[in-house]
Structure 1
Amino acid sequence: MKNFWTMVLLMSVIGIGSTTRILAQKIISKSTLKDKIKGGWAGQTIGVTFGWPSEFQYQGTFIQDYETIKWHDDYVNEAMTSFPGLFDDVYVDLTFVEVFDRLGLDAPADSFAKAFAASQYQLWHANQAGRYNIQQGIPAVKSGHWLNNPHADDIDFQIESDFIGLMSPGMPNTASDISDKVGHIMNSGDGWYGGVFISNMYALAFINNDISYIVNTALKAIPVQSKFYQCIADVVKWHKLYPTDWKRTWFEVQKKWAEDVGCPSMVFHPLNIDAKINAAYVVIGLLYGQGDFTKTLEISTRAGQDSDCNPSSAAGILGVILGYDKIPQKWITPLKKAEHRDFSFTKVSLNKVYEMGYNHALKNILKNGGSVRDDQVIITISAPKTVRFEENFAGHFPVGRISLAKTFQDKLEFNMNGIGFVIRGYAHKKKANAAAHVLQGALFIDGREVERANFPTGANQARTDLFWRYQLAKGDHKVKIEILNPHPDYEFVTVDYLVYDSKPLRLPGEL
């Protein structure tokens, strides 16, 4: 270790009955701890701002070297003013940080879900699906499950798990425990693993500045049988094979892992919001960036797809390794001009969360066997334990997207063949000044009612997709949607429906 680290490693031998446990401890100064926490928050804010113009503009390709990515001395302020919704990577974190601040480190999962459900900022995909589920009374432990949330493998929890690692320095298992409590509000399976992995990397970045070590050690928290683990393990392997060519590794990732299975908007589309492939771009940026802040930002952004979120994660982790004071002035100067500003629909600025995050980290260190002495903090270090195995969409393969561009005020029927479907659409208020009304719809499959759901028209209360059903018996099915409380000023709008079968689609000539 170098830079600000106090070069001390204590091995404490603790007797427990006839068992002896050896715990590693790390001594760090308070000022260094705070500097690294600030570096993490600063890095992710810089990263999301840098990736702002290219978000989802490069789908299945990367940003060429000759293309200059915009940056200037007041860019963070410009982004916060022009597009507050850009900072969902940060403001969702802040909702959960505030829960810890109000209720303490033992705040229950439902308290996070309640705060999340009451939020007024823009959300999309798994986040909005989870928020809707909580608002409709689905418990926090189930609102991110793929049977309740078709976006369960999306990137959402991955991009807002940073705060967990920042409050768990050197304690990856503590980060995993918090991830379990918070992450299942909006995700499960690979979508949950994205947050576990990112938060573990943040936690490890406090005690080691070897990026390869951080990536490989954090990956131990993820079950080896998961596709998330396999994707990231492939990136590590390809980095060893092509250590100077990030684009070659990017191509290998694209060939093997670019197929989205779950997200109703992204299947059969070059746009990919899946957690594992975007996490692969984070790791590509970290490994090939070689500890250089600018190079890491450039590569993780140029990899494309969710190109604001990926540099946000990569720069946040590297910001912990370097510390706030070592982030190059090119990047930190515009940030400093905006550190006093509250993020969208919050009462928290970067200046405020620097202090909140530091206080939460100190409390978490004490709670988990560490201590604070004068200007020193002693962290009890834990090796990552593998979290439980979860798999979304097991045995489900998308085989078709059928156009269904319609509006209706009573009912809609169609026939499909497969084991599952997702109907994309929404409830629509035909007149802006229409009286308040929430449509209620019922889903019938083969003549049997299987679900009723409410359909508010407000963006923060909306259901992300009309209806979905998985795990059907293989074969033909008759699907019907019926509006139970029709209103002349309201209607359902459908776009298309995605069909799943028990075997993957094979094109003519394929084996």
Structure 2
Amino acid sequence: MKKVFLLALSLVVFAAFQRPKPAVAPRAITLSKAALQNKIKGGWAGQVIGCTFGGPTEFRYPGTMINDYQKIPWYDGYIKHTMVNNPGLYDDLYMDLTFVDVYEKEGLNAPTESHAKAYANAEYMLWHANQAGRYNILNGIKAPESGHWLNNPHADDIDFQIEADFSGLMAPGMPNTAAQLGDGIGHIMNYGDGWYGGVYVGAMYSLAFVSNDVNYVVKEALKTIPAQSTFYQCIADVIKWHAKYPNDWKQTWFETQRKWADEAGCPDGVHAPFNIDAKINAAYIVIGLLYGGGDFTKTMEISTRCGQDSDCNPSSAGGILGTMMGYDKIPAYWKMGLAEAEDIDFKYTTMSLNDVYQMGLKHALQVVQKNGGQVSGDNVTIAVQTPKAVRLEQSFTGHFPIEKKSIQKELADEYTADFDGIGFVLMGHASARSSAPRERSNTSFVFNAELHVDGKLVETAKLPVSFIARRHELFWKYQMPKGKHTIRVKVLNPNPEYTIRMSSLLTYGDKPLKTEI
């Protein structure tokens, strides 16, 4: 009998383990509309504060930190002065607002094509992945191909990372929804690590609505990124080094620089101290947040003093922390003069901060209701999501920069070059000559040029002289057969009023270049 009883008991236990486990109900958090609005305001205001504070140092400290003795100005009236006199500084803000405006006009189901059309046809100047994406859209290459690294040499750059704030602010407590909102938009101009930068920043914003623990937000948001990616590995290293050197952000900066500062994609940053790569600039955001420990001043100082894109990084860190704290708890020191700037429309938009505060609440309530939450009277109940990793993407796999050869010549008719490798980027730009009667940014002239590789025509490209419509690089090609190659570029419609200036030829091999010491 005892054996029979034990056998029966074991069968019951076995069956219990085989029985499907009930789904875990999502954690719900309830906020008042006023509290939600306060956090949304804190997020947008924090961005403006961080961007303004770091503006004077932007890319003036490539490859080095900004030392403590270097004073960074801040004074009453500074925000308004900057918004009026240097409105182009806020490119990460008005890029954000381009997408917010499309959601406002077309609803939460606005197609990626609408977002791409709005930003590609906007009047503002763009650089790097944004400009490469814009050129692609204007020339018939649609998203996501417009951001793919085979079509965009800047696919891993910081661009979507600095523009993804909207996704997290629209999706309080819902990091997976934030990733979905930004997926199509992020692939207009980025891919791989460049896309992950926006996914991660959006997730940190989202989680900042439901947690006051900076360490938790930084670590939990990283779960939205595939562990196999270099972006994940870089941020995981920063978290590890923070634990190892909890009182020395500079040591963590040095460790980050030593392991992750090599640039493989962005042609401007290869073999140069300049680095606009998403993951290392995201590392500076995280360094600011972790070592700032919830203190707004420390977070601003550290994320800015890490250098490189030192206006966008404190803008992201300030926005995330501002969301966590809420507008009312951002120190008065940092908000001085903010109120007088909140009714000023950002350049190239018809939206001010006060407009965005209200619009942001409207969109967040819509997203909450669409994703299992409820809005009842003054109460907003959020169905908080457990972060899940998005799909794996990696750019420039198997491509290692070998040589960046200076050219510094005009392309009058033809240019020929030989190289040994698997890929190349011919850097340069088309522009009006200084003696031409029209302004460079307004001219409509477009060069037509052919690219021949190993005797075969592979592309006929338009090279606008307009700075807004320009092609960021002249020509490029990756994933070529390993070996020696010849490239030939031929101009089909030369014009004495305009010029194509070639600056450098960057070549790639299938293995890292090793120097014997």
What TM bracket, shorter-length normalisation?
Answer: over 0.9
Q: Deviations over 1:124-183 (max 9, x none)?
A: 111111111111111121111001100111101000100110000000010011121110
Question: C-alpha separation between the residues in 1 aligned to 2:32 and 2:208?
Answer: 15
Q: Deviations over 1:235-278 (max 9, x none)?
A: 00000001111011011001100101101111111111110000
Question: C-alpha separation between the residues in 2 aligned to 1:288 and 1:414?
Answer: 49
Question: C-alpha separation between the residues in 2 aligned to 1:295 and 1:432?
Answer: 50
Partner amino acid, structure 1, of 2:68: D
Give 2:219's aligned residue: 216
Give 1:348's aligned residue: 351
Question: C-alpha separation between the residues in 1 aligned to 2:364 and 2:350?
Answer: 20
- TM-superposed CA distance for 1:428, in Å, is 2.1
Give 1:455's aligned residue: 463
Query: Which segment is superposed worse, 75-84 or 265-274?
Result: 75-84
Query: Which segment is superposed worse, 479-488 or 495-504?
Result: 479-488
Partner amino acid, structure 1, of 2:465: T
Give 1:495's aligned residue: 503
Question: C-alpha separation between the residues in 2 aligned to 1:154 and 1:425?
Answer: 18
Give 2:191's aligned residue: 188
Give 2:487's aligned residue: 479
Q: Does structure 1 retain, via aligned residues, the 8 Å contact 2:157–2:194?
A: yes
**Quick one: which of 383, 389, 392 aligns to 2:386?**
383
Q: Does structure 2 retain, via aligned residues, the 8 Å contact 1:231–1:276?
A: yes
Give 1:170's aligned residue: 173
SS at structure 1 position matched to 2:490: strand
SS at structure 1 position matched to 2:500: strand
Question: C-alpha separation between the residues in 2 aligned to 1:108 and 1:450?
Answer: 32
Partner amino acid, structure 2, of 1:506: K
Partner amino acid, structure 2, of 1:192: W
Question: C-alpha separation between the residues in 1 aligned to 2:82 and 2:466?
Answer: 25
Give 1:10's aligned residue: none
Instruction: Give runs of aligned pairs for residues 128-277 of structure 1, distance below 5 A.
Output: 128-277=131-280
Question: C-alpha separation between the residues in 1 aligned to 2:384 and 2:457?
Answer: 53
Question: When the two structures are aligned, how many residues end up with a matched partner?
Answer: 493
- TM-superposed CA distance for 1:211, in Å, is 0.7
**Quick one: which of 421, 424, 431 aligns to 2:424?**
421
Q: Does structure 1 retain, via aligned residues, the 8 Å contact 2:288–2:300?
A: yes
Question: C-alpha separation between the residues in 1 aligned to 2:474 and 2:176?
Answer: 38
- TM-superposed CA distance for 1:489, in Å, is 2.2
Question: C-alpha separation between the residues in 2 aligned to 1:361 and 1:451?
Answer: 45
Question: C-alpha separation between the residues in 1 aligned to 2:83 and 2:281?
Answer: 24
- TM-superposed CA distance for 1:49, in Å, is 0.4
Q: Deviations over 1:60-105 (max 9, x none)?
A: 1111112221011111122223322210110000000000000000
Question: C-alpha separation between the residues in 1 aligned to 2:452 and 2:498?
Answer: 21
Q: Does structure 2 retain, via aligned residues, the 8 Å contact 1:409–1:490?
A: no
Query: Which segment is superposed worse, 34-43 or 439-448?
Result: 439-448
Q: Does structure 1 retain, via aligned residues, the 8 Å contact 2:156–2:190?
A: yes
- TM-superposed CA distance for 1:485, in Å, is 2.3
Question: C-alpha separation between the residues in 2 aligned to 1:190 and 1:397?
Answer: 16
Q: Does structure 2 retain, via aligned residues, the 8 Å contact 1:189–1:390?
A: yes
Q: Does structure 2 retain, via aligned residues, the 8 Å contact 1:260–1:267?
A: yes
**Identity of paired residues, percent?**
57
- TM-superposed CA distance for 1:20, in Å, is 3.8
- TM-superposed CA distance for 1:220, in Å, is 0.4
Give 2:297's aligned residue: 294
Q: Does structure 2 retain, via aligned residues, the 8 Å contact 1:266–1:273?
A: yes
Give 1:114's aligned residue: 117
Give 1:55's aligned residue: 58
- 5+ residue gaps, structure 1: 1-16
Q: Does structure 1 retain, via aligned residues, the 8 Å contact 2:79–2:338?
A: yes
Q: Does structure 1 retain, via aligned residues, the 8 Å contact 2:444–2:464?
A: no
**Quick one: which of 313, 318, 331 aligns to 2:334?**
331
- TM-superposed CA distance for 1:334, in Å, is 2.1
- TM-superposed CA distance for 1:436, in Å, is 4.3
Question: C-alpha separation between the residues in 2 aligned to 1:499 and 1:136?
Answer: 25
- TM-superposed CA distance for 1:199, in Å, is 0.1
Question: C-alpha separation between the residues in 2 aligned to 1:202 and 1:436?
Answer: 41
Deviating 4+ runs (over 3 angstroms)? 17-21
Give 2:10's aligned residue: none
Give 1:432's aligned residue: 436
Query: Which segment is superposed worse, 387-396 or 478-487?
Result: 478-487
* TM-score of the pair, normalised by structure 1: 0.95
SS at structure 2 position matched to 1:334: coil
Partner amino acid, structure 1, of 2:454: D
Question: C-alpha separation between the residues in 1 aligned to 2:208 and 2:251?
Answer: 27
Give 1:71's aligned residue: 74
Q: Does structure 2 retain, via aligned residues, the 8 Å contact 1:154–1:275?
A: yes
Q: Does structure 2 retain, via aligned residues, the 8 Å contact 1:153–1:187?
A: yes
Partner amino acid, structure 2, of 1:373: S
**Quick one: which of 444, 447, 452 aligns to 2:452?**
444
Question: C-alpha separation between the residues in 2 aligned to 1:364 and 1:198?
Answer: 18
- TM-superposed CA distance for 1:486, in Å, is 2.4
Q: Does structure 1 retain, via aligned residues, the 8 Å contact 2:465–2:498?
A: no
Give 1:401's aligned residue: 404
SS at structure 1 position matched to 2:466: coil
- TM-superposed CA distance for 1:19, in Å, is 5.5
Partner amino acid, structure 1, of 2:127: W
For the pair shown, the structure with the greater C-alpha radius of gyration is 2
- TM-superposed CA distance for 1:21, in Å, is 4.4
Question: C-alpha separation between the residues in 1 aligned to 2:65 and 2:55?
Answer: 15
Q: Does structure 1 retain, via aligned residues, the 8 Å contact 2:187–2:195?
A: yes
- TM-superposed CA distance for 1:18, in Å, is 9.3
- 5+ residue gaps, structure 2: 1-19
SS at structure 1 position matched to 2:499: strand
- TM-superposed CA distance for 1:456, in Å, is 1.1
Question: C-alpha separation between the residues in 1 aligned to 2:381 and 2:62?
Answer: 45
What RMSD, in angstroms, separates the aligned Cα atoms of the two structures?
A: 1.2
* TM-score of the pair, normalised by structure 2: 0.94
Partner amino acid, structure 2, of 1:478: T
Question: C-alpha separation between the residues in 2 aligned to 1:112 and 1:316?
Answer: 23
